[in-house]
Amino acid sequence: MAAVKQLCKSLVQPLLAVIIGLLTGALVIAAVGESIIGTYQEMWKGAFGSFYFLTSTLARATPIMLIGLGLSLAFRAGVFNLGAEGQMVTGAISATLVALYLPAPGFVKMVAALVTGVLAGGLWSLFAGYLEARFRIQLLISSLLLNYVAVLFAGYLVSEPFQDKTGSAAMAQTPMLEKSVWLPKLFAGMSVHAGFLFALAAALLIFFVIRYTPFGYEVKMLGQNPFFSRYGGVNRVRVMLTGMFFSGGLAGLAGTVEVLGSHYRYVEGALTLPNFAWTGLMATLLANSHPIGVVFTSLLLAALQTGAMGVERNTDVPLELASVIQAVLILFISAKFSYDWWKNRNNKRRESHGAV
């Protein structure tokens, strides 16, 4: 019962943010001269109007959900991992090369690619954690800057040594993977693949770990009160490095399932242009880092994006409507963090004056 109450509480914030975002979007629609109700009906149809559109939304939500879940674990431990994009790309390119060149049957290559994607993303994230633990380089900065290293290095790999040179376009991409390595689709002819089930399983696993295991208790203690956790015997470096590894591992898995389930090769820009990493960050912040809440906020943000495509197809309202609504969501989150910071500062002042 307590878990249900906590989940409902975590969903209040995103629902309120969405209402404010939709009201702002209504102003944009009115400025364009379109019907507000008609436009939002088209957005709903574009996201959920048919089974095809529903599965497209689920497919879009899959990498967002995996990234968001990894970040929720890190944030709960008080670790600010902003390197999900680089971790996703590192996992994706590593998994692609294993799927292409490992001499093994198709199913073995698929499993090896999935494991490699998780390990590569996790180790890339762990490197940022190591820089903080060993050299006191701020994790916020190192994880963010390592995104550029990962994305540019992956771009070099697919435009030079591992580029597919069989076609005339000479695009920056690897050769196509064998069909035996592709992730199975959940429904024939639809875009959603088995990666969506991996995301749901990861959400349940993280919820169980946080709520019922000693490591989850240490994560909560470190995130809520780092000074008290130190006196309680929590090893901050160990928890931080473990959280960073699994956070990056889930981001690496997000990139891997996109390659194995949607693109069937690594294409430069295919993972970074849709802004999966930053949308996953937004999903985490909206859900207040609750793993089950991340499932719902990821679906919501994916629906905004796929629904906006339907709006652009059938009305004069541009695709950027979704960007406007998401920008309002970011402002709402920022305002909430600022209010919480101001409230905590005032509480600390009152406590210090009371002590005097």
What pLDDT digit, counting tens, does each position of 76-118 carry? 988 889 999 999 999 999 999 999 999 999 999 999 999 999 9
Q: Is the dihedral of CA 164, 165, 166, 172 positive or negative?
A: positive
Q: Is the dihedral of CA 41, 297, 259, 148 positive or negative?
A: positive
Stated pTM of the model: 0.92
The class of domain 20-350 in CATH terms is mainly alpha
- What does the radius of gyration of the chain's CA atoms come to, in whole angstroms? 21
Q: Which candidate, 83, 86, 257, 60, places its Cα nearest to that of 155?
A: 86
What residues contact 269, with CB distance under 8 A and at least 6 apart?
Answer: 172
Q: Give, rounded to a whole angstrom, the gap between the first and last alpha carbons of the chain.
A: 41
233: left (phi over 0), alpha (psi -120 to 50) or beta: left
For the stretch 276-306, pLDDT in tens is 999 999 999 888 889 998 999 999 999 999 9
DSSP state of 185: B
Q: Which candidate, 112, 100, 118, places its Cα nearest to that of 162?
A: 100
For the stretch 34-85, pLDDT in tens is 899 999 999 999 999 999 999 999 999 999 999 999 999 999 988 889 999 9
pLDDT on residue 262: 96
pLDDT on residue 6: 62
Angle, helices 195-212 vs 214-224, to 10°: value is: 80
Burial code of 276-292, b = ≥16 C-beta within 10 A, e = fewer? bbbbbbbbbbbbbbbbb
Q: Mean pLDDT highest for which of 12-16, 300-304, 335-339?
A: 300-304
Task: Locate the domains of the chain by residue range.
Answer: 20-350
Q: Sort 201 into a burial class: Cβ within 10 Å, 0-12 / 13-18 / 19+.
A: exposed
